[in-house]
């Protein structure tokens, strides 16, 4: 971690804040799916009832849950690595998994013809891209 008066501190702060944002987003979302599996499955079954994905909702929910938990856990570990030894590699992989999770969510929303829901994911996806761009290297 650079000192606050360093020229590198603003970049590090962007890296840390993006990584924290992604960790919170996906740990909360993934844990919610685990804790309220039935509620999420019921809502998603209705959400995808008229889409080509309607028969695959349980499999897709399980896949998304694992992906979100992985993105959140790797991002959280990446934040620790950013703060303690100053390494960006783990956080970069968390951002990559987060971006993949957002693309999966975006695909599902588009398939369900929930265009507003898909559009609402764009700012979140952009955070994962900012994280990837600042963490590379």
pLDDT tens, N- to C-terminus, the chain (137 residues): 888 999 999 999 999 999 999 999 999 999 999 999 999 999 999 999 999 999 999 999 999 999 999 999 999 999 999 999 889 999 999 999 999 999 999 999 999 999 999 999 999 999 999 999 999 86
pTM value surpassing 0.85: yes
How far is Cα 43 from Cα 39, in angstroms, rounded to an integer? Answer: 6
Residue 57, in any domain of the structure: yes
Residue 87, in any domain of the structure: yes
pLDDT on residue 85: 86
pLDDT on residue 1: 84
Nearest to 121 by CA among 110, 136, 134, 132: 110
Residue 1, in any domain of the structure: no
Residue 13, in any domain of the structure: no
Number of domains composing the chain: 1
pLDDT on residue 137: 65
Residue 19, in any domain of the structure: no
Q: Which domain holds residue 67?
A: 25-135
Residue 106, in any domain of the structure: yes
Residue 70, in any domain of the structure: yes
Residue 92, in any domain of the structure: yes
């Amino acid at each position: 971690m650079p000192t606050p008066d360093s020229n590198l501190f603003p970049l590090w702060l962007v890296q840390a804040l993006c990584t924290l944002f992604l960790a919170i987003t996906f740990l909360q979302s993934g844990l919610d799916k685990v804790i309220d599996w039935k509620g999420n499955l019921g809502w998603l079954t209705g959400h995808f009832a008229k889409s080509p994905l309607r028969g695959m909702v349980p499999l897709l929910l399980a896949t998304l849950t694992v992906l979100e938990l992985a993105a959140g856990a790797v991002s959280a570990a990446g934040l620790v690595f950013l703060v303690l030894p100053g390494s960006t590699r783990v956080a970069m992989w968390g951002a990559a998994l987060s971006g993949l999770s957002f693309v999966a969510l975006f695909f599902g929303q588009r398939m369900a013809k929930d265009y507003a829901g898909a559009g609402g994911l764009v700012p979140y996806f952009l955070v994962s891209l900012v994280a990837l761009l600042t963490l590379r290297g």
